[in-house]
Each structure stands twice: as C-alpha cells, then as structure tokens.
Amino acid sequence: MSSIGVRSGSSTGQHDQRADVELRIPADGAYASVLRTTTAGLAARLDFPIDDIEDLRIAVGEASAMVLPEATEGSDLTCRFFMRPAELTVTVGVGVEHEVVPDYDSFAWQVLTTLATSATALAEGGTFTISLTMESGHPTGGL
C-alpha cells in the first residue's frame, strides 16, 4: 500500500541525512534516462528482484515528469538516493520560483504511487521534490 501526501514547512527524515548517492544534472527531460539507469544500478546493488528494479525505473521517470515542468529555467535536477538493506528511497527535486501544488490526479502521480511503496511531494524553500521509497521483495537485500 502506498502512502501519499504533500508536506510543507520544515523537512524531516531523509532530507536531513546525507545521501548515499547524489546526482545533479540539468533540469531537462533529455537527462531523465540517466536517473532511471542510476536507479536501476543501485537497486540491483541492493539485490532487488528484476520486477522491482523495473518498477523503480518507471517510478523515477514519473517523478521526473512531475517536477521538470515546474523547474526554474537554468536550474538543476537533483536526485538523492538513500540505501538501506532491502529499501531504496529516491528524491527528485528542482528549483522553483513559484508556489507548486502537486497534481495528485495526474497520470504520473497515479503510476508513481502504484509502483512505489510510498511517495510524498514536498514544496518548500524554493524547491519542489518528489520522494519515493521502494521496499524490495527480498527482505535480505544487500548493500
């Protein structure tokens, strides 16, 4: 079951931690494949089953599709990966100059929340971030 929601205000949890992997690329859809490939590689390292890896690739693509149209021109797309045994959390965010209200009725959000174990949207401090977590089908996943 997916948990979904939007948060505003101070961030907690993984936003306060140092990411295991951080990738910063131009906020352009042409680079979304880099995020999907990196996600697949990290999930494979955690011994995720192939179906979960594909679900993660798709979910990260949908998260990118949600944040990129909101990006300030010339800003970066930042993707952070937090790895734990049998769990991968991915945050995808862009800089914004306006208030963002996530479209929870969009196809991208519906796909993302169907594929991920949990997903949230956070709009604060000039950034718009989608965070998703996938728990592996194999509880003894490695690092």
pLDDT score recorded for residue 17: 81
In the 8-state DSSP scheme, what is residue 46? T
Is 21 inside a domain boundary?
Answer: yes
- Residue ranges in the chain whose pLDDT is less than 50: 1-13, 139-142
Instruction: Tell me, yes or no, whether 143 lies in a domain.
Output: no
> Whose CA is closest to 95, among 74, 80, 112?
74
Query: Does 73 map to a domain?
Result: yes
Q: What is the DSSP string of 63-115?
A: HHHHHGGGPPTTPEEEEEEEEETTEEEEEEEEE-SS-----TTSHHHHHHHHH
Split into its structural domains, the chain has a count of 1
Domain that holds residue 112: 6-135
Residue 93 maps to a domain? yes
Check residue 56 and give its pLDDT: 95
In a domain, 35, yes or no: yes
Rg (CA), the chain: 14
**The predicted structure's pLDDT at residue 16:** 65
Has residue 40 been placed in a domain? yes
pTM of the full structure: 0.83
Residue 24 lies in a domain: yes
Give the domain CATH number at 36.
Answer: 3.30.565.10
**Amino acid type, 41:** G
Q: Which residue has the tokens 């996600």?
A: 39
